[in-house]
Amino acid sequence: MIRGQTLLACYSRFLLLVMVCFVAGTAQAQFRKYSNEFLNIGAGARALGMGGANASSVTGGTAGYWNPSRLTQTTEDPSLSVMHAEYFAGIGKYDFAGIAIPVKQQGRSIGISLMRFGVDDIPNTLYLVEPDGSVNYNNIETFSSADYALLFSFAQSFAKSDDHDFSIGGNAKIIHRNIGSFAKAWGFGIDLSAQYSKDRWALAAVLRDATSTFNTWSFTFTEREKQALYLANNDIPQQSTELTAPRLLLAGSYKFAFGAKTSLLAELQLDNTFDGKRNTVISTDFVSIDPRVGLELDVNRTFFVRAGAGNFQQALKDGDTTNQQKVWIFQPALGAGFRINNVQIDYAFSNLANQSSPLYTHVISLSIDFRRKEKQ
């Protein structure tokens, strides 16, 4: 059995490896800020109810999304998680489904995750105006803009016992984005992760888009569409490639015990981006750091109450048009859940904007642990 010091040494070497991958991926490329942002929405009402602070404590079917190395913390049976959320008064719809499958007696787990973020029924007004200048609303058609991602996850535990564990994992992801029949993109990327837990502590590091993730866009327009764009003084886009810069998540959590049946989990997560200055708590030319904090009260593994906050930014104070005074704002979240046998239902209530300009959304997710039949 590997001792704690050896595990920490392995953890340090892993962090060195992922940073080397990061440097290699950024040395010869220009990145597009906020590319593939739908991959950063989150997965599961549990995590969103904790403000997105989830990388070091996630288990089950959402582990492949948040931290694939945590797939080894799933129970001995496969676990399925599904989620649905609507944003901007139902204009944007987001769906997620993920499954974690442990490989018995090998300390290994695999996972598959599928997500979609789409906006449907978008009016196409290219032909709204007739050649004679009249407006014909019958010419309006609709189309959809949707982003898809498919993640194949793998995790391996190197030393697992009742009080500590060290695991590494990764994702291979395929991305498809389309805007009606006009534009399509295919992309590929790799995530790397590691986690170490001991007693009530857990630490995690997740390097998303480790070697950068690329999307190659292609555009298809009919001659009539090209003519309509030309008459409206719009450029005809050409095939292009965009890169998503690596993002490093560092997280740590601790579980406080109150008796035999009640506990409180506290987690801190730091989202580190390397694509230039952002409006975050720490912002430099090299790295921008956005902290997230989350709490989860667990009563007898049956009832859960959660709260969290993230996306801390500076904004102009409401009503201040002269002094340009700035204040700190953040995105709060609340959540709850309950579990009956092998079924768990979670709910999250989050404000996508800030405290003074609310834009609320409701998220519901379902998790099921499938019990395998034992051989006679």
Percent of the chain with pLDDT over 70: 85
* CB-count burial class (<10 Å; 0-12, 13-18, 19+) for 145: middle
Task: Give Cβ neighbours of residue 353 (< 8 Å, ≥ 6 apart).
Answer: 331, 359
Instruction: For the chain, give the mean pLDDT.
Output: 83
**Inter-residue contact 63 to 92 (CB < 8 Å):** no
Q: Compute the distance between CA of residue 98 and CA of residue 123 in angstroms, rounded to an integer.
A: 32
**Degrees, nearest 5: CA angle 218-33-61:** 85
Instruction: Categorize the per-residue pLDDT at 10 as very low, low, confident or very high, splitting at 50, 70 and 90.
Output: very low
Phi, psi of 245 (to 5 degrees): -70, 150
**Degrees, nearest 5: CA angle 294-298-302:** 135
What spatial distance separates the first Cα and last Cα of the chain, rounded to whole Å? 32
Query: Domain-by-domain residue ranges, the chain?
Result: 4-369
For 117-164, write each residue's pLDDT tens digit: 999 888 888 777 777 778 888 888 888 899 999 999 999 998 777 678
Phi, psi of 7 (to 5 degrees): -65, -40
How many CB atoms sit inside 10 A of residue 26's CB? 17
Q: Compute the distance between CA of residue 17 and CA of residue 211 in angstroms, rounded to an integer.
A: 12
Domain 4-369: CATH architecture, name and number where available: Beta Barrel (2.40)
The 3-state DSSP class for residue 48 equals helix
Q: Give the helix, strand, coil percentages of the chain, each rounded to 5.
A: 15, 55, 30
Q: What is the pLDDT of residue 51?
A: 92
pLDDT higher than threshold 90 for residue 207: yes
pTM of the model: 0.82
Q: What is the pLDDT of residue 33?
A: 65
Q: What is the pLDDT of residue 29?
A: 40
Which of the residue ranges 66-70, 196-200, 241-245, 356-360 has the most confident prediction, judged by mean pLDDT?
A: 66-70
pLDDT higher than threshold 60 for residue 28: no
Q: Work out the average pLDDT over 313-334.
A: 76
Instruction: Categorize the per-residue pLDDT at 7 as very low, low, confident or very high, splitting at 50, 70 and 90.
Output: very low
Instruction: Categorize the per-residue pLDDT at 26 as very low, low, confident or very high, splitting at 50, 70 and 90.
Output: very low
Q: What is the pLDDT of residue 74?
A: 75
Instruction: Categorize the per-residue pLDDT at 27 as very low, low, confident or very high, splitting at 50, 70 and 90.
Output: very low
Q: What is the pLDDT of residue 314?
A: 82
* CB-count burial class (<10 Å; 0-12, 13-18, 19+) for 271: buried
Rounded to whole angstroms, the maximal C-alpha distance in the chain is 81
Q: What is the pLDDT of residue 356?
A: 52
Residue located via tokens 């981006």: 273
**Inter-residue contact 177 to 146 (CB < 8 Å):** yes
pLDDT higher than threshold 90 for residue 25: no
> How is residue 197 written in tokens?
């837990």
Instruction: Categorize the per-residue pLDDT at 352 as very low, low, confident or very high, splitting at 50, 70 and 90.
Output: low
pLDDT higher than threshold 70 for residue 313: yes
